Amino acid sequence: METSAAPRVLRFNFLKNAAVFLLAFLFSLALGEILIRLVAPQQLIVTNNRLWKPEPVFGWRHFESADTPVNTGERLTHLVTDEHGYRINRSLTKGEEAGKADISILMIGDSFLEALAIENEETIPQRIKQMLEAKYHKRVRAVNAGVGSWEPGQYWLEARRALALAPYDLGIVFIYIENDIVDKVRTTFSHKEFEKNTTLRLPREWTWNSLISAVFYPINFYLKQRSQLFVFLKERFNILLARMRLTAYYFPVIFERKEKNSKRWEITADVCQKIQQEFEKYSTPVFFVFLPTDYQLDPSALNEYIKMFDISLQSVDLEQPDKMLALSFKKRYLDFIDTLVPMRERVRRGVKMHGQIDSHLNAEGHRAVAEIIFGEVEKYLPPQLKENH
């Protein structure tokens, strides 16, 4: 009897200790959550199904006539769109929207132009609009046709669509250096490329990537909307998470010196030439703007990437993509502005141009880009806008 009772006692003690540990762990998490909210509050991600919709041609784009809150980690903002799905100011009235403008500018890009981390009034298109109206005292319409995760092939499709809808005096296309340099020409896209699994499920196969998709990503998606402690810890352990491939951060191959003779520079320029040709059909000038990454500008951001991905500085050239893309653009007589050097100079002066959590441009970053490209915008102003100036 005594012998048979011993295993039961051991099992009971084990279960008791496990229960005590679990309760202590849950209590610690709850206490940590409370303390973080009191001492170091974090921004919870706010997202919903009213931001982007599946679309057969583009793969995905904004809903039309949307008005929805969003928080990418910096602060609560709003995505408001017009009847075409273009982002507009929340305060814009229908009368203002329908009014005739003296000049119309179409701006196309990805999430760096879409700029969900800030209100639309602070974005590059609105900064350009404000500067032009203040200087020339004429009405300007600046269309923000930026959509997250788009690439140059989608920029071309958007140019074709937008120019057929309304006349424009100028087009500006933003090329984000980190992910807009492509290695193939694409004109068809699927919404499945953009959608990510947010429902916890069993992995389809027992591989690390499948486990990330089926388990870790849904847990991350759930917690970053609900737990400030999770957001706080995730930011502090980003180096470890990067090495485990549990982060959205990555270091593109375009910066590796061995990619200098890659065909991707010519391919990207070819797509941009198609965009230019689309504008030429409507006798509308267009120029391109190169937007740098945060680690191209800020040595401290680069140091983070070096730690996260164990990068050898001898094997990379942070200016290589700008140099090679510029050469390919010049061959095709494509007009462009590279903002790398002037933005780098602003960072040296202490200007913070990217978010703390969201690595996209903040309001100061948008202001800087607008100021840098404003002279180029003025070159293309129609004569009537400059009258009586």
Report yes or no on 352 lying in a domain: yes
pLDDT at 231 over 80: no
For residues 114 and 61, is the Cβ–Cβ distance under 8 A?
Answer: no
Whole-number pLDDT of residue 99: 59
pLDDT at 275 over 90: yes
pLDDT at 98 over 70: no
Between 63 and 9, residue with greater pLDDT: 63
Tokens of 283: 């006798």
For the chain, percent of residues with pLDDT exceeding 70: 90
Report yes or no on 41 lying in a domain: no
Amino acid at site 276: Q
Between 77 and 389, residue with greater pLDDT: 77
Strand partners, 316: 256
Report yes or no on 251 lying in a domain: no
Mean pLDDT for the stretch of residues 182-192:
91
Cα separation values, 128 from 133, 243, 355, Å:
9, 40, 21
In the three-class reduction of DSSP (H, G, I as helix; E, B as strand; rest coil), residue 104 is classed as strand
Report yes or no on 332 lying in a domain: yes
pLDDT at 245 over 80: no
Between 76 and 226, residue with greater pLDDT: 76
pLDDT at 337 over 80: yes
How sure is the predictor about 324, in pLDDT bands with cuts at 50, 70 and 90? very high
Tokens of 180: 């807009």
pLDDT at 355 over 50: yes
**What mean pLDDT is reported for the chain?**
88
How far apart CA 235 and CA 357 sit, in angstroms, is: 8
CA-nearest of 132, 161, 141 to 282 is 161
**Taking the chain, what is the end-to-end CA distance rounded to the nearest angstrom?**
104
pLDDT at 116 over 80: yes
For the chain, percent of residues with pLDDT exceeding 90: 58
Report yes or no on 21 lying in a domain: no
pLDDT at 97 over 60: no
How far apart CA 326 and CA 335 sit, in angstroms, is: 10
Between 72 and 366, residue with greater pLDDT: 366
Mean pLDDT for the stretch of residues 143-148:
97
In the three-class reduction of DSSP (H, G, I as helix; E, B as strand; rest coil), residue 201 is classed as coil
How far apart CA 386 and CA 389 sit, in angstroms, is: 5
pLDDT at 108 over 90: yes
Whole-number pLDDT of residue 162: 98
How far apart CA 68 and CA 81 sit, in angstroms, is: 9
Whole-number pLDDT of residue 184: 93
For residues 316 and 257, is the Cβ–Cβ distance under 8 A?
Answer: yes
Per DSSP bridges, beta strands 77-80 and 103-109 are unpaired
How sure is the predictor about 382, in pLDDT bands with cuts at 50, 70 and 90? confident
How sure is the predictor about 349, in pLDDT bands with cuts at 50, 70 and 90? very high
pLDDT at 106 over 90: yes
How far apart CA 209 and CA 220 sit, in angstroms, is: 15
Q: What is the CATH number of the domain that holds 185?
A: 3.40.50.1110
Report yes or no on 254 lying in a domain: no
How sure is the predictor about 246, in pLDDT bands with cuts at 50, 70 and 90? low
Whole-number pLDDT of residue 291: 98
How far apart CA 353 and CA 223 sit, in angstroms, is: 27
pLDDT at 4 over 70: no
CA-nearest of 365, 337, 354 to 172 is 337
CA atoms within 13 A on the CB side of 222: 10
Strand partners, 336: 288
Cα separation values, 370 from 8, 94, 107, 174, 294, Å:
73, 26, 12, 12, 17
User: Total structural domains in the chain?
Assistant: 1
Whole-number pLDDT of residue 316: 92
Rg of the chain over Cα atoms, rounded to whole angstroms, equals 25
| Cα angle value 275/277/280 (rounded, 5°) | 115
How far apart CA 176 and CA 260 sit, in angstroms, is: 18
> Looking at 6-10, 19-23, 26-30, 97-101, which range is the least confident one?
97-101
pLDDT at 312 over 60: yes
Whole-number pLDDT of residue 95: 46
pLDDT at 94 over 50: no
Report yes or no on 157 lying in a domain: yes
Between 384 and 30, residue with greater pLDDT: 30
Domain hosting 126: range is 52-191+264-293+319-386
- Residue position matching structure tokens 């404003």: 374
Handedness of CA 366, 51, 145, 254 (dihedral sign): positive
For residues 56 and 93, is the Cβ–Cβ distance under 8 A?
Answer: no
Between 312 and 105, residue with greater pLDDT: 105
Alpha helices in the chain (DSSP H): 2-39, 94-98, 111-114, 124-136, 152-165, 208-211, 217-223, 228-236, 238-243, 264-280, 294-297, 299-309, 320-331, 340-348, 363-379, 383-386
CA-nearest of 273, 231, 245, 219 to 41 is 231
How sure is the predictor about 121, in pLDDT bands with cuts at 50, 70 and 90? very high
Report yes or no on 372 lying in a domain: yes
Q: Where is 140: in which H helix or E strand?
A: strand 140-146
Tokens of 261: 């003779």
pLDDT at 200 over 70: yes
- The DSSP secondary-structure symbol of 127 reads H
Handedness of CA 333, 334, 337, 338 (dihedral sign): negative
Most confident listed range (162-166, 198-202, 210-214, 302-306): 162-166
